[in-house]
Amino acid sequence: MNLYPLALKLAGRRVLVVGGGAVATRRMPALLAAGARVDVVSPVLTPALHAYVAAGRLTWQERRFVPSDVDGAWLVQVAVDDPTAAAEVSVAAEERRVFCVRADDRDAATAWTPAVTRHDEVTVAVTDSGDRKRARAVRDQIAAALEEAPQRRHEPLRGQVALVGSGPGDPELITVKGRRLLARADVVVADRLVPGMLLDELRPDVELVDAAKIPYGASVAQEEINRVIVERARAGAFVVRLKGGDPFVFGRGGEEVVACAEAGVPVLVVPGVTSSIAAPALAGIPVTHRGVAHEFTVVSGHVPPDSVESLVDWGALARLRGTLVVLMGLKNLPRIAARLVAEGRSPRTPAAVVQEGSTDAQRVLRSTLGEVAGAAAEAGIRPPAVVVVGDVVAVLDRGIGPGEAG
Ligand code: SAH
């Protein structure tokens, strides 16, 4: 079969979708992303399609199809199971010379939707002459190749900075966008907690600045990092500033954004999977749970609770029922736990420490608020680790905990 491949400009053009079920739902995002003016004709809609209607993103005729629905459409998508009903749409479309895609019967269609993969500005569409599976397999191979290849053919992102969260440690937990930008970097400035495997993938010509190795105290080091980022970007490089977890969760990302802004360097932020949620999750601790915790609070334990420098209201935290997640809190854990108990939180509250969450070295210690500091010291728990306090610590014990066998 000889098909003629085309790419359609649907912006502002009417597209008729007949059917409101799973297939129509799956087709909708690409049509809307193309800017099509979508009319759906169907007696019923899935909740996802209802949500589009409520948001004013498509219009809905709550009834069965009539041939005049095709009038004025540039394209028709048939997404109904009933072959007789689908054929009726095909006939109406054919009479009006409108191309018609059929989810139920490709042979009866006048247009086919290809298997698609999108990478930034490039869309790859794979069509076939009947073997859909093969087209999808080819598409998947192209997608994988585009994902892996150093993306040199892009418009260069010269003179810009991307602040990218690398996730908690497992190299697979960086975002797709973060990884794509990393593959395009000329300079990478990486923190200590960034997964090493991500840096291993960089092209040999990429300049890697290890921010952990910058000497001096923390504040001078931060100024030096800001200076390096700005200087390299000004010299025309695309700089990826890679930071553990999420850049804005105790990551000093905000200071780097300010430094770039002051220097007139454009900066883009790519959020990351933060260890404050991910490390508990991977230890089987949901930070919220219905009927258990309706809040979670993330605090830094870097400054001891009794220090004049502390900005944390530990008394208020002790009065919360919900989940408390403490980052950078291992060293001060004895004082933090004691303060929470002194301010009223029960020493029997379940507590856990998760060391190096999401990595091969992950360790989990379960205890109570009263005993967690001693238990962590005894077990030799090391940073990086998060401390979780609250009833959620025990919530998934049933079922996955080893102690429940009897
Ligand atoms: N921006 C990071 C946090 C930086 S502060 C984020 O969003 O995750 C550094 C602290 O994060 C560590 O002291 C530790 O408390 C925590 N942390 C980072 N990675 C961790 C991991 N894999 N497991 C447990 N805690 C981690």
Tell me if 168 CB under 6 Å of ligand 1. Answer: yes
Average pLDDT of 74-96? 96
Q: Is the CB of 173 under 6 A from ligand 1?
A: no
The answer to whether 265 and 234 have CB atoms below 8 angstroms apart is yes
Task: Please indicate whether residue 301, judged by its CB atom, sits closer than 6 Å to ligand 1.
Answer: no
Q: What is the pLDDT of residues 349-362, one digit of tens each?
A: 999 999 999 999 99
Kindly give the number of the ligand 1 atom that is closest to the alpha carbon of 357.
23
- Measured in Å, residue 119 CA sits from the centre of ligand 1 at 31
Q: Rounded to the nearest whole angstrom, what is the distance from the C-alpha of residue 148 to the centroid of ligand 1?
A: 28
pLDDT grade for 399, boundaries at 50, 70 and 90 = very low
Alpha helices in 151-201 (DSSP H): 176-183, 196-200
pLDDT category of residue 339 using cuts at 50, 70 and 90? very high
Nearest CA to 358 out of 210, 194, 176, 178 is that of 194
Mean pLDDT over 85-95 rounds to 97
Q: Does residue 36 carry a pLDDT above 80?
A: yes
Q: Is the CB of 246 under 6 A from ligand 1?
A: yes
Q: How confident is the model at residue 237 (pLDDT cuts 50, 70, 90)?
A: very high
Residue nearest to atom 11 of ligand 1 (CA): 327
Ranges of H-type helices in 157-310: 176-183, 196-200, 218-234, 253-262, 275-282
Question: When comparing pLDDT for 108 and 215, which is higher?
Answer: 108
Q: Is the CB of 270 under 6 A from ligand 1?
A: no
CB of 383 within 6 A of ligand 1: the answer is: yes
Structure confidence at residue 211 as a pLDDT band (50, 70, 90): confident
Residues 203-241 as b/e (b if ≥16 CB within 10 A, e otherwise) read eeebeebebeebeeeeeeebeebbebbbebbeeebbbbb
Q: For Cα atoms 117, 118, 120, give the angle at the middle one, nearest 5 degrees.
A: 160
Pocket test residue of 275, 331, 359 for ligand 1, highest count of atoms within 8 A of CB: 275
Q: How many residues does the chain have?
A: 406
Q: How far is the CA of 36 from the centre of ligand 1 (A)?
A: 43
pLDDT in tens, 254-286: 999 999 999 999 999 999 999 999 999 999 999
Q: Roughly how many angstroms between the first and final C-alpha of the chain, as a whole number?
A: 65
pLDDT of residue 128: 84
- Which residue owns the Cα nearest ligand 1 atom 13? 328
User: What is the token pair recorded at 369?
Assistant: 């608020």
Per-residue pLDDT, 103:
86
Catalytic residues: 191, 213
pTM of the model as a whole: 0.81
Task: Give the strand order in the sheet containing 37-41.
Answer: 59-61, 37-41, 14-18, 75-78, 99-102
Ligand 1 touching residue 358 (CB < 6 A): yes
Q: Hey, which residues does 123 pair with through a beta bridge?
A: 118
Q: Give the strand pairing for 122-126 and 115-119.
A: antiparallel
Beta bridge partners of 247: none
pLDDT at residue 381 greater than cutoff 90: yes
Burial (CB < 10 A; 0-12, 13-18, 19+), residue 290, is exposed
Determine the residue of 327, 332, 365 to mutate for testing ligand 1's pocket, defined as the one with the most ligand atoms within 8 A of the Cβ atom: 327
The ligand 1 atom nearest the CA atom of 253: 1
CA-based torsion, 313, 317, 323, 329: positive or negative: positive
User: Does ligand 1 have an atom closer than 6 angstroms to the CB of 385?
Assistant: yes
